[in-house]
Chains A and B, each alone.
Chain A
Amino acid sequence: MFLALKEMSRAKVRFGLLTVALGMLVFLILFQQSLQNGLLTSFVGAIRNQTAPVLVYSVDGQRVIQGSIITPDLEQLVTTADGLGDVGRIGQGTFSVTNADGELTDTTVLGYEQPLLGAPAELAEGRYPRAAGEAVGASNDADAGFGLGDTITIEPSGYEITIVGLADDVQLNAGATLFVAYDDYVAAVQSANPDAGTPLPNVLAAAPADGVTPEQLVANINGLSDDLDALTRSDAADETPGVAQVQQSFRVIFLLYGLVIPCVTGLFFLIITFQKSGALTLLRAIGAPARRLVTSLLFQAVLIVIAGYAIGLALYTPLSQRRLGGIQLRFETTAVIVWAIILFVLGIGSSLIAARRVLRIDPIEATTGGANR
């Protein structure tokens, strides 16, 4: 390893540039992984992490809760579905509110009729609402004027809601989100727009009867009418408009970054090997086994990948704790491990091309002057 380290210390700029390039690539990949996950969680976390196994939209809603409206006859129809255990209303509205910090901001309010049909599945702190004017908030917003015990005022009516519990990852549309009892939701809507009548529920939350799977219930409900669009909890989250686009876009981005990495490392080690072929030939001629020279090359590759990854991680870690607009970023441990493995394989794999070149070097060239160019 003496040779490998000596060479690197003599060519600091070159090895340094490679390491920096890798580090920045790692940083971008990890950051965008956090961005993607944060984006999706903040867009549909409220759907993923609520209690109802099945959500019933109107086809008109195009799988957007706020766009969906369940008319009384559709609601009646759903109650007749085979395999239905229980059903409750969910209403959603976006309101201008004054938060606990006194700032005017947007808030999504989700009203549910029954705790097991639309409330956050798990609380991180506090309790579920018991009385009118109480809500569960998203822990991601807790530092942004939506903390436990804070009172939120809906503008311009002045209707007040107090946060009594907090749940993780339950935002909708990347903004502050409050879960309230359905009656509170109705009151909030009417306070904000006096012209509004009694709002219709946006979606229905349903649970299958014993022995019926959510998928069966979905099929049964969808069979009732072309105007009903029932989805399991996870489908409802994944099929929300924009989610698939985000995933596809990031897939293309990750693929491109993934291609750049082996190209950069592979090219680097190939050129380096080519440039020092004279020295390598000499080393082979004085008796260095080819295996030793390859090991030295791979050792450098490993070192560069590790150092590059460390730089990337060092840039990524502080940023991964931050909030970006309404999006809470998070340190994605899985992504960090998976990308470390991918990078290791790609980085080392691409340097094998250079290793093949080392193995092909013929020590006899040293005596014929082939190395002395």
Chain B
Amino acid sequence: MKLALRELVRKPGRFVTATVILTLIAVLLMFLGGLLDGLLRLSTGALRAQTADAIVYSDASQSSFLRSRIEPDDRAAIESADGVDEVGGLGVVLLGARVPGNGPRDLANVAVWGYELPKSGIPAPPAPGEAYADELLQADGVELGDELLVGPARTPITVTGWVSDTAYNGSGGLWTDLGTWREVLSQNRPDAVLADGVVQALVVSGPGDPADVVAAVDAANDGTYALTIDDAINEIPGVEEQSATFNQILGVTVVIALVVIALFFALLTVERTALYGVLKAIGARSRTIFGGLVVQATAVTLVASAVAAVLVVVLDLLIPPGSIPLFVSPSRIVLSVVLLLIAAVIGSAFSLRRVLRVDPASALGN
């Protein structure tokens, strides 16, 4: 162990190239992972902010807010169901908003939400004509107290507070009461107008598990279906596909790291065969020698990971907001490092056979 670490310190040159390669691979892993997290965050924030147990859409809506319509009758039936405590309306419309001080063609993408029940991090609805804005909109120059002119009809909405991580479809949220939202919708999207009392979706809380609430709602009413919040997040178009595709790419990248580590330590072991022979002759066990290899692989990986983490954080700072949706989080970095460490241990195991095969007798008679 000490021997292995001392070699790293005394002969760092031997490990530099391998560390550089692993650093690149670690940057790739963290960058790709951060990209996935960023993309998911931008499309799932609004749903993740829901504290309710379930979301109710109308049949044939394909879990799209814009196509879902919940009539007052449906709502009444669900409200009176057993196993349902609280029901709130929910709706959204995606529009461009004119920000004071920005150029006439420089609009901010906003998702105007109408809601009734407070969410995690979002207090009860503000007064009509006011909204809590997602912090994402700060990148567009939105400030507290600004009056945003929303949509082609220039419906005014005043920002009276901030909320974070509530993005939907890549747009920052403007959280308003149902009435303000309905007005924005009817003024700006004549094709999507909803009559009074009609909402796009319902959020429902109950005393039981989310699955129980879903069952209670589905039993109480026809023409609608309920999903747990987690299921609803997976139903957002692209979420599952993105996760699956990115995770496959990440998986192959981890395997590449494994092969690179295997290759490098196989080369190193070949180079040290004679030395291992001497060490074994004077009493070193294969376990000790192989343990040293694993320690070196782990150390190289840790150094590469640390450098990569710094690089990715710097990259994140350099990328102008709104260009690449990179989201660097400690958990993503830790996950990448853990995956790389596993790859390092498995990769160095490729040299185990060669270490075992070194014959202490080879030290004699040379």
Contact = CB atoms under 8 A, between A and B. Distances in A.
A binds B: yes
Interface of A: 11, 13-14, 17-18, 20-21, 24-25, 27-28, 31-32, 35, 58-62, 64, 67, 69, 71, 93-96, 104-106, 155-156, 174-175, 189, 192-193, 195-200, 226-227, 229, 241-242, 244-245, 248-249, 252-253, 256-257, 259-260, 263-264, 266-268, 270-272, 274-275, 324-327
Given A193-B191, A195-B194, A96 B24 contact: no
Interface string B9-37: 00000000110110011011001100100
Contacts of B8: none
28 contacts: A17-B263, A18-B263, A21-B259, A27-B252, A28-B249, A31-B249, A59-B107, A60-B96, A62-B107, A67-B95, A69-B152, A69-B189, A93-B191, A94-B67, A189-B191, A193-B69, A195-B193, A245-B324, A245-B325, A252-B31, A252-B324, A256-B27, A257-B28, A259-B24, A260-B24, A263-B17, A271-B267, A275-B270
Contacts of A195: 193-195, 198
Given A248-B324, A256-B28, A275-B267, A28 B253 contact: yes
Interface of B: 17-18, 20-21, 24-25, 27-28, 31-32, 35, 59-62, 64, 66-67, 69, 94-96, 104-105, 107, 109, 151-152, 170, 188-195, 198, 237-238, 240-241, 245, 249, 252-253, 255-256, 259-260, 262-264, 266-268, 270-271, 323-325, 350
A351 B264 CA distance: 16
Nearest to B60: A155
A95 B192 CA distance: 12
Given A60-B151, A156-B59, A196 B238 contact: no
B152 A28 contact: no
Given A31-B249, A106-B237, A94 B66 contact: yes
Closest 8 pairs between A and B when the two form their complex, measured CB to CB: A325-B241, A155-B60, A226-B104, A199-B191, A60-B96, A17-B263, A21-B259, A267-B17
Contacts of A31: 249
B20 A14 contact: no
A196 B18 contact: no
B362 to A, nearest CB: 15
B259 A24 contact: yes
B267 A14 contact: yes
B105 A226 contact: yes
A14 B252 CA distance: 20
B152 A227 contact: yes
Contact of A105 (B62, B190, B255): B62
Given A17-B259, A21-B259, 4 more contacts: A195-B194, A196-B191, A199-B190, A267-B264
Given A31-B249, A96-B61, A267-B21, A196 B193 contact: yes
A229 B105 contact: yes
Contacts of A14: 263, 266-267, 270
